[in-house]
Amino acid sequence: MRYLARTLAVLLTLAVCVYLIWFLTRPDSQSIESGTLPVSAESGEGDGTGAYYAAAFDSTNFWAAGSGGRLARITMDNEVELQSCPTRNDLYDLCWENGRLLVCGENGTIIYQSHNGTFRKAATGTTADLLAITVFQGSYYAAGEGGILLTSSDGKKWLKHELPVSSDVIGLEANKETLFAITRDSDYLVSKDGTAWRSHNYNKEYQGYADPCVFESLENMGDSFFVVGQLQENPDIPLIMFTEDGQVWLSKPMARINGMTFSELGPLKIYGIGCHLDQLIAVCDSGRLLTVTNCAECNQLGKYADADVFDLAFGDKRMLLAGEGYTLSVIALEDVRQYKIQPEQALTDYLNNGAVLIDVRSDEEWASGHIAGAVHIPLADVDSRLPQEIPEKQTQLIFYCGSGKRSQTALEKARDLGYQLVYNLGGIDDWPYGLE
């Protein structure tokens, strides 16, 4: 009897240990299995009432994460593959760095991609919602509810810190020198080492100089941090501001969109923003995309999906839109670029930014008067002469003619030759600064 009791005790102990190991390493009560989704990335049709909130590009494929633990990989061939995800919690942000994908979400969720490609839950030690995740100087950072900040050296084990704000941190981005965070209450936080933070409030610091606003999203582009916001008194009007370190802020002018003022255009809400070459692309409500150029009069708004689009990611000549209803849409970047430019901006780009003005009219038209400093390449000679006279494909080219038709044809020829920063000024009669 003693031997039997001792044996039963040992077996019971082993069973408890096995259960504890399973309990501590299990996924959430429900996990999402992998498989191919019944959705076409090209069509942009969704398959549910949830949403994709974040998108990223890993140099080969697009990724999207969203509600209910939905995580998808979208190939450049527009195939959407649902990933096996160890959580049903909502996922809010993605981070791709050094060959590893990290995703953060509600209830302290962080999942990371292991070396064999599977996704595992990280040990975060918190149940606070994590709304943003990034990489700074070789370490991972995640932030969110109540000003919580987590740090990790490997993406698997995280340490908890507190930022000098009590509001939810909704954006966290980094470049080589600066880590930057924002809250909806117009707080912005700046760190040069990931440890010491400077806390500011935009509305308080610019009181009397700028209209009070609400911050909505944050994106790093090169040396600058771009913040999308809305006016407190008129939330139908979006703002796009940028800064390098929080000391000096500039606004992106949007005098007109599709030739209309904001009062003529109607309500517009921007959810996220990105940069392609020299233009900003913002994802908006009702499936609309806003292309913002350096020309304040030339901004373009178009409809590209049937639902709100919450995030975007840029790949090789294509971009992914992710949004409401688990909508995914892969579109060509050239379809959302804006190619028009006004004389004032053309003159500024010519004088200050190295742009080349190109007259594509005939020899007789050129001799009768042309814009000072312009290069004369008749339309019929664009294919042969443009690569010889302007070999650098990243040069900004501004074409003009008599009415705008030949200059549009020249623009398309230049684009086929590999030039990307191409604009159509239109007809020479619209040039207000004199001719020679």
- Domain contains 322: yes
> pLDDT of 100-159, one tens digit each?
899 999 999 999 998 878 999 999 999 999 999 999 999 999 999 999 999 999 999 999
Percent of the chain as helix, strand, coil, to the nearest 5: 20, 40, 40
- Domain contains 18: no
pTM of structure: 0.85
What pLDDT, on a 0 to 100 scale, did the predictor assign at position 13? 57
Burial of 338 (0-12, 13-18, 19+ CB in 10 A): middle
Domain with 374 in it: what CATH number?
3.40.250.10
Active-site annotation holder among 85, 284, 298, 401: 401
- Domain contains 416: yes
Residue 403 has pLDDT above 70, yes or no: yes
Is 284 one of the annotated active-site residues of the chain?
Answer: no
pLDDT band at 397 (very low <50, low <70, confident <90, very high): very high
Same domain (yes/no): 351, 323:
no
Mean of the pLDDT values across residues 180-208?
Answer: 97
Q: Which candidate, 270, 288, 272, 276, places its Cα nearest to that of 314?
A: 276
Cα four-point dihedral sign 183, 189, 190, 196: negative
What pLDDT, on a 0 to 100 scale, did the predictor assign at position 41? 38
C-beta separation of 423 from 340 below 8 A: yes
Residue 27 has pLDDT above 70, yes or no: no
Same domain (yes/no): 137, 276:
yes
Backbone angles phi, psi at 28, to 5 degrees: -60, 170
Same domain (yes/no): 288, 205:
yes
C-beta separation of 139 from 151 below 8 A: yes
Q: How many domains does the chain have?
A: 2
Question: Domain containing 393: what range?
Answer: 343-430
What pLDDT, on a 0 to 100 scale, did the predictor assign at position 291? 96
From 281, 310, 335, the end of a domain falls on 335
- The side-by-side arrangement of strands in the sheet containing 375-376 is 375-376, 356-359, 397-401, 422-427
Residue 70 has pLDDT above 70, yes or no: yes
Residues 6+ apart with CB under 8 A from 334: 317, 415
More confident residue, 78 or 108: 108
* b/e map 110-141, b = 16+ CB within 10 Å: bbbbeeeeebebbebebebbbbbbbbbeeebb
What pLDDT, on a 0 to 100 scale, did the predictor assign at position 15? 54
> pLDDT of 314-362, one tens digit each?
998 899 999 999 999 999 998 999 999 999 999 999 999 999 999 999 9
- Domain contains 1: no
Same domain (yes/no): 400, 286:
no
Same domain (yes/no): 75, 157:
yes
- Domain contains 153: yes
> pLDDT of 371-382, one tens digit each?
999 999 999 999
Same domain (yes/no): 290, 390:
no
Tell me the two tokens of residue 208: 């009397």
Taking CA 376 as the corner, what is the angle to CA 375 and CA 380, rounded to the nearest 5 degrees?
135
Same domain (yes/no): 229, 138:
yes
Domain with 75 in it: what CATH number?
2.130.10.10
Pairing between strand 110-113 and 119-121? antiparallel
What pLDDT, on a 0 to 100 scale, did the predictor assign at position 42? 37
> pLDDT of 256-291, one tens digit each?
999 999 889 999 999 999 999 999 999 999 999 999
Same domain (yes/no): 144, 249:
yes
